[in-house]
Amino acid sequence: MDLHKGSCLCGEVNYKLDSEIKRVVNCHCNFCRSHSGAAFSTFAVVPFASLEIAKGKEKISAFQFGGGEKHFCGTCGTPIFNVNKKYPGLCMIYLGTLEKAGDITPAVNIWCESKLGWVDTLSSIHSLAQGPERK
């Protein structure tokens, strides 16, 4: 049974997960910051064997870093998942690619020693429901 589905921005890569998500983590390490381009990365951790690339396997590019490998859509650049030698048998799915990302809540922050100082003040920053009006 497919419990979760996801895709990249352009839709050329589609995947399914046939197991529950084991853990959801916010990673604040410098590697994740560089290869996502964001302040931190949120990952759903699943057994690698439960990941099925349903469409676009040939579109996926890989890049090796440290002990890990990032997999992303070669057409639109969306990062899809990482694997890491430190965590054999697991893969880290980029939360934003999951269809139901809004239903999944992180349980732990990791690599907080390299977390950006302003992350903890997010909820107190001036917030708009949508993008600002163009002036």
Taking the complex as a whole, the smallest distance from the CB of residue 16 to Zn ion amounts, in Å, to: 16
CB contact at 8 A, 39 and 116: yes
Q: Does 8 bind Zn ion (CB under 5 A)?
A: yes
80-109 burial by CB neighbour count: b if 16+ within 10 A, else e?
bbbbbeeeeebbbbbbbbbeeeeeeebeee
Of 114, 121, 96, give the one whose Cα is nearest residue 32. 114
Binding residue for Zn ion, selected from 17, 21, 27, 95, defined by CB under 5 A: 27
Taking the complex as a whole, the smallest distance from the CB of residue 129 to Zn ion amounts, in Å, to: 28
Q: Which residues inside 68-97 make contact with Zn ion, applying CB under 5 A? A: 73, 75-76
The rounded distance, in Å, linking the Cα atoms of 60 and 56 is 7
Binding residue for Zn ion, selected from 17, 21, 25, 32, defined by CB under 5 A: 32
Tell me, by CB under 5 A, how many residues bind Zn ion.
9
- Residue ranges binding Zn ion (CB under 5 A): 8, 10, 12, 27, 29, 32, 73, 75-76
